[in-house]
Structure 1
Amino acid sequence: MSIKFLAEDDRPREKFLLKGKNSLSDSELLAIIMGSGSRDETAVELARKILASVNNNWHQLSLLTIKDLMKFKGVGEVKAISIATALEIGKRRAAQEIPEKPQISSSRNAYDLLKLHLADLRTEEFWALFLNQNNKVIHIAQLTQGGINQSIVDIRILFKTALEHFSTGIIISHNHPSGSLKPSSEDITITKKVKEAGDLMSIQLLDHLIITQNSYLSFADEGLL
């Protein structure tokens, strides 16, 4: 039975998109890797059976050979290779060193990161840096893409992203294609709203940068936060 025929609440891919990867059980993750089950079992049911055979231990599952995996009804060579490949990727990822995260100690540090995304654009975009308690960047994201002279950010999406990455601080930024560094009334209003929302959620707004092709303005440096 293909995943697309399952009840909506049982569709791992849809659940991934709607609720995020952390909402998935181990069997749902394995079901996504396999893609489908057998005639008698859904992908989730088959995944649950496979994991139960190794006491729900991913390491033990990685020790199974292709032939071992193919002993399960509904697991052919292609599925077995897909499972083994996913586990090997996980093993290699665990063995790699985590790259050093850039640390923000000034508005210039933030500008140097954000100008790569914003300086040369012809329309406004809104980006954010998400930082941990040591002011190291753990995520960077484009949040909106606007017209010639405006890019309105959805504060709910901003803080949803911050929560997903366990951020304790954020730096927001947008560009002015006109070349003007003067904050508009909308810029000031959105900064105030983001700061107030952050205060409620214990996520500090550290700065708001306006970026042009050759320069930037920092709300923090200008005492505008």
Structure 2
Amino acid sequence: MADPVFLFMVKPKQKRRIQGFALDDQPREKLIREGRRSLSDAELIAILIGSGSEGESVVALSRRILADYNHSLSDLGRASLDELKKFHGIGDAKAVTITAALEIGRRRKEEPDQKKPVITCAKDAFEIMHPVLSDLNHEEFWILMLDAANGVIGKAMISKGGRAGTIADPKIIFKTALERNAAYIILFHNHPSGSLNPSDEDIRITRKLTEAGKTLDLFVLDHLIVAGGSYVSLADEALI
């Protein structure tokens, strides 16, 4: 009788978490999931450092460094490279990264606040977009994005067309504005022909976008048609 054959089931190796630490010790993933303001000072420093050492997670290392500087980013910002390198797990590259990041923060605080332009009427909006649209020989569709106080937070081109028209895709318009956390938007396009008369399609798409914006709490305030150095506001003309 042949010897019995014994079969052994080998369990597949389980994937280790990054660096073998728990999810709570993965600040990069936490920032992606929950946003930058959800991270503690130690977790932000941990992202700069990138990795811990054997037996100590990157977050634990960051906490240890902060504790040595009274949990103060200002105190840490005054540390020399040699002082930072005294911590086990911190070499030249990590010490330089920490120092550079804190210096950026210091310089940011020194910059004067740049006041956002505030839109109070159609002319204010035209003054901002006039240099962009006035001399084109083709049509472009743009949006001006505002915060809740009507301050300008950005502008974006939605489409570029020919002399006779361009596309105003609602999906692109609202996606762009939502990504910037806009509260209001103002629509713009130019007429290379020089005519300021809004077409039936101009009026239709404006009303369509205005209604769509209401469902998103992202309100369309106006639609300006630019031709050369002049403009017409569909809101002022009561066409919205």
TM-score range, shorter chain: 0.7 to 0.9
Q: Deviations over 1:180-217 (max 9, x none)?
A: 32323432232122211222233322111111222111
Question: Is 1:54 matched up with 2:66?
Answer: yes
Amino acid at match of 1:82: T
Q: Which residue of 1 aligns with 2:127?
A: 112
Change in CA separation of 1:195 and 1:83 when aligned onto 2, cut-off 3 Å: same
Alpha carbons of structure 1 residues 37 and 22: separation in structure 2 relative to 1, 3 Å: closer
Deviation, 1:224, is: 0.9
Verify the 8 A CA contact 2:224 2:231 in the aligned structure 1: yes
C-alpha contact 1:128 1:143 (8 A) present in aligned 2: yes
CA distance 1:62–1:188, change in 2 (3 Å): same
Matched, 1:209 2:221: no
What whole-Å deviation, never above 9, does each CA across 1:119-163 have from its counterpart, x for those lacking one? 1233333222222333222x1221423221443344344334444
Aligned match for 1:126, one of 137, 141, 164: 141
1:136 maps to which residue? 151
1:146 aligns with 2:160: yes
TM-score (norm 2): 0.69
What's the Cα RMSD here?
A: 3.6
Amino acid at match of 2:230: S
Residue number in structure 1 paired with 2:96: 81
* Amino acid aligned to 1:53: I
Question: Using the alignment, how far apart are the partners of 2:35 and 2:137 within structure 1?
Answer: 35
Supply the distance in 1 between the matched residues of 2:111 and 2:128 (Cα, whole angstroms): 24
Cα distance in structure 2, aligned partners of 1:85 and 1:191: 48
Number of aligned positions between the proteins:
212
CA contact (8 A) 1:104 1:136 kept: yes
Q: Which runs of 5+ in 2 are unaligned?
A: 1-17
Letter in 2 for 1:147: G
3-state SS, counterpart of residue 223 of structure 1 = coil
Please give the secondary structure, in 1, of the residue aligned with 2:66. Answer: coil
CA distance in 1, matches of 2:43, 2:216: 31
Amino acid at match of 1:110: A
Q: Percent identity?
A: 37
For residues 56-75 of structure 1, the aligned pairs below 5 Å read 58-72=73-87, 75=90
What is the letter of the counterpart of residue 95 of structure 2? A
Normalising by structure 1, we get a TM-score of: 0.72
Higher alpha-carbon Rg? 2
Task: Give the AA of the match of 1:66.
Answer: L
Other-structure match for 2:234: 219
CA 1:197/1:70 → structure 2, altered by over 3 Å: closer, same or farther?
farther
- Tell me what 2:202 maps to: 187
1:60 is displaced (CA, Å) by 4.8
- Greater Cα offset, 213-222 or 162-171: 162-171
- Check 1:172–1:57 CA distance in 2 against 1; reply closer, same or farther (3 A cut): farther
Q: CA distance change for structure 1 residues 102 and 90 in 2, over 3 Å: closer, same or farther?
A: same
Q: 1:64 to 1:185 in 2, by over 3 A?
A: farther
Aligned residues of 2:158 and 2:173 also touching (Cα < 8 A): no
